[in-house]
């Protein structure tokens, strides 16, 4: 955090999450001022928040918005009221600011609300409060980053201090080693690479993307004073192999990389998987930066640290969790993306809509139907990334049962890819069909029809019955999400309400209506 730049840090979250307690402690650590927005509104109005609400919530929200607008350029820490960041106008106003979501469970929030004996006009009972808490989560997850706020204020403030080092980042993944996600031109990446202080860089890309963008990235890095070599491999899923990894590793060694060097993955999901796995294994682990160039890689695979290659027995069976030092997203590169690959990314966008909630789901559907403007498309991409960043921050190694939700549609999708041969269906196309299978298995008939129409409108595969067969489901046996003899499968109870359940291959086949 550079106080000279006057970048404010906004704390958001449900009432009782600790914003007013954590805020002063964080401000003290950063040697900046603290402002409690609700307290300021009460002071300026001469009445309590409860009294303002009694005159109508719309009146209060107008005063709140004006007060937030007055904090721009404040350069300190600002605690917002629980409902402030739910308002679209506030989200838009703070688009370029650092917003931190204090993510506390409702049980913890309600305990604090009850203890402080304050009057909360929108939470007069625990059941009413829980309903409101659930309704606001999708909005809170649009924040730049998030912290678990169930603990002590000092430790929460200390954690936030580590996350606000990148004031221009649009998202920050909060894990053991936090990292920023930037939205900027490829021309500008060199300076950020140089700040990582690598001895040299190896730019890994495929034959298609390399011809378009490798020189641009390489020049930016070299102009920033860092040596950078480029290596390419044949484009396509077939390259996610041990042979490709072996060739890249030998090339890296021949170019004199060392343990302080950096791998840059420039490309789609395949490149990210290979570059990440190369970095995770070369010299027992060196740093990696991801530059996604496909829609699918932007919204999904570039964030979260999953790397891997395929085996004859299945997809991504050999790999590692290896978090990047940063992710660099340049939306402009999508203009050169081949139409089929662009559309395939919508499969993952639909997935995030189902996981996140009705707002993102509706925007994803509009995108599939061609009804979304370009400015709105960039917003959807950012929200998908922020949702994944939130999940990965809470469950980086997929041990707590949260990150597994990101596999929605993938169990069937991976089986389709294996059955028909990698490359017959693009990954996003297979995920789209996997989502239809998931909705059918979940008995979400209305949502199934809406999703099918969206895929059809987008020009994506949508004929589930003729694609998913007994052979497809036999391939599920090789899925890496097995727990003993059972399979972890993500069901959808409603939009924004996914659930992980243990089931069997036989039960899935039965739910899909496939003849044994």
Query: Cα(482)–Cα(502) distance, rounded to whole angstroms?
Result: 9
Question: Residue holding tokens 């559907």?
Answer: 365
Separation CA 263–CA 120 (nearest Å): 51
Nearest to 353 by CA among 309, 423, 395, 408: 408
Quote the tokens at residue 7.
């970048």
Our answer to whether residue 388 is catalytic in this structure is: yes
**369 part of the active site:** no
348 is catalytic: yes
Active site residue 482: no
Alpha carbon distance 224, 511 (integer Å): 56
7 catalytically annotated: no
Long-range contacts formed by 111-117: CB under 8 A, 24+ apart: 111/16, 112/16, 112/17, 112/18, 113/15, 113/16, 116/16
Indicate which residue of 325, 403, 418, 462 is catalytic: 403
Whole-number Å distance between alpha carbons of 37 and 46: 14
Q: Classify residue 268 by its DSSP letter.
A: S
Q: How far apart are CA 3 and CA 129, in angstroms?
A: 36
Q: Give the residue from 133, 130, 126, 72 showing the smallest Cα distance to 97.
A: 72
Catalytic, out of 237, 348, 417, 429: 348
Cα Rg of the chain, angstroms:
24
Which listed residue (106, 310, 407, 417) is catalytic? 407
What kind and span of H or E run contains 88?
helix 88-93
Of the residues 25, 240, 306, 351, which is catalytic? 306
d(CA 354, CA 39): 37
Q: How many angstroms separate the CA atoms of 482 and 501, rounded?
A: 11
Among left, alpha and beta (phi > 0; psi -120 to 50; other), residue 398 is left
DSSP element (H, E) containing 467 = helix 464-467
Q: Which of 138, 159, 398, 429 is catalytic?
A: 398
Task: Give the C-alpha separation, 282 to 247, whole Å.
Answer: 12
| Catalytic option among 19, 170, 410, 462 | 410
Report strand pairing: 9-12 vs 77-79: parallel
Of 427, 440, 452, 462, the active-site residue reads 427
Residue 413 makes CB contacts below 8 A (sequence gap 6+) with: 347, 427, 430, 431, 432, 433, 434, 435
Catalytic (active site) residue 120: no
Is 2 catalytic? The answer is no
Catalytic residue among 61, 388, 418, 440: 388
Torsions phi, psi for 36 (to 5 deg): -95, 110
CB under 8 Å to 351, separation ≥6 — which residues? 300, 406, 408, 409, 431, 435
Q: Measure Cα distances from 41 to 45, 66, 413 in Å.
A: 6, 10, 51
Confirm whether 306 is a catalytic residue: yes
Specify whether 284 is catalytic. yes
Give Cα 111 distance to the centre of its chain. Answer: 30
Residue 73, Cα to own-chain centre: how many angstroms?
Answer: 28
Largest CA distance in the chain: 73
Question: What residues act catalytically?
Answer: 284, 306, 348, 388, 398, 403, 407, 410, 414, 427
């Amino acid at each position: 955090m550079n106080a000279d730049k006057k970048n404010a840090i906004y704390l958001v979250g449900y009432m009782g999450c600790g914003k007013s307690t954590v805020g002063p402690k964080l401000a003290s650590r950063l040697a900046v001022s603290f402002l409690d927005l609700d307290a300021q509104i009460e002071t300026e109005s001469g009445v309590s928040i409860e009294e303002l609400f009694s005159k109508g919530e719309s009146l209060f929200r107008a005063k709140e918005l004006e007060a937030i607008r007055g904090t721009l350029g404040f350069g300190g820490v600002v605690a917002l009221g629980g409902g402030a960041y739910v308002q679209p106008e506030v989200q838009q106003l703070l688009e370029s600011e650092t917003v931190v979501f204090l993510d506390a469970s409702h049980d913890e929030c309600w305990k604090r609300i009850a203890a402080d004996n304050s009057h909360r006009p929108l939470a007069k009972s625990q059941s009413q409060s829980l309903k409101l808490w659930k309704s606001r989560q999708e909005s809170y997850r649009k924040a730049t980053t998030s912290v678990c706020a169930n603990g002590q204020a000092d430790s929460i403030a200390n954690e936030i201090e580590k996350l606000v080092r990148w004031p221009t980042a649009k998202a920050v993944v909060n894990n053991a080693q936090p990292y920023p996600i930037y939205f900027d031109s490829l021309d500008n990446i060199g300076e950020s690479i140089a700040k990582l202080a690598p001895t040299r860089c190896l730019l890994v890309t495929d034959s298609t993307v390399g011809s378009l963008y490798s020189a641009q990235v390489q020049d930016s890095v070299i102009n920033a004073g860092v040596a950078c070599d480029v290596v390419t491999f044949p484009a396509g899923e077939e390259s996610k192999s041990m042979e490709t990894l072996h060739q890249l590793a030998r090339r890296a060694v021949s170019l004199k990389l060392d343990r302080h060097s950096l791998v840059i993955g420039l490309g789609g999901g395949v490149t990210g998987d290979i570059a990440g796995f190369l970095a995770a294994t070369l010299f027992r682990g060196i740093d990696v930066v991801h530059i996604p160039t496909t829609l699918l890689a932007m919204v999904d695979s570039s964030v979260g640290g999953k790397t891997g290659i395929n085996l004859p027995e299945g997809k991504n069976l050999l790999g590692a969790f290896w978090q990047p030092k940063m992710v660099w997203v340049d939306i402009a590169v999508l203009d050169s993306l081949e139409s089929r690959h662009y559309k395939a990314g919508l499969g993952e966008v639909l997935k995030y809509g189902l996981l996140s909630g009705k707002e993102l789901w509706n925007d994803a559907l509009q995108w599939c139907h061609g009804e979304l403007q370009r400015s709105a498309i960039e917003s959807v991409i950012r929200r998908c990334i922020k949702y994944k960043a939130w999940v990965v921050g809470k469950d980086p190694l997929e041990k707590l049962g949260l990150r597994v939700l990101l596999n929605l549609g993938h169990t069937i999708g991976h089986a389709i890819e294996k059955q028909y041969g990698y490359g017959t269906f693009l990954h996003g196309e297979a995920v789209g069909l996997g989502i239809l299978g998931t909705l059918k298995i979940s008995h979400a008939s209305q949502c199934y029809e809406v999703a099918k129409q969206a895929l059809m409108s987008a020009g994506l595969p949508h004929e589930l019955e003729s694609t998913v067969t007994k052979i497809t489901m036999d391939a599920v046996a090789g899925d890496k999400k097995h727990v003993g003899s059972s399979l972890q499968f993500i069901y959808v109870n409603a939009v924004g309400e996914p659930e992980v359940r243990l089931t069997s291959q036989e039960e899935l086949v039965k739910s899909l209506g496939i003849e044994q």
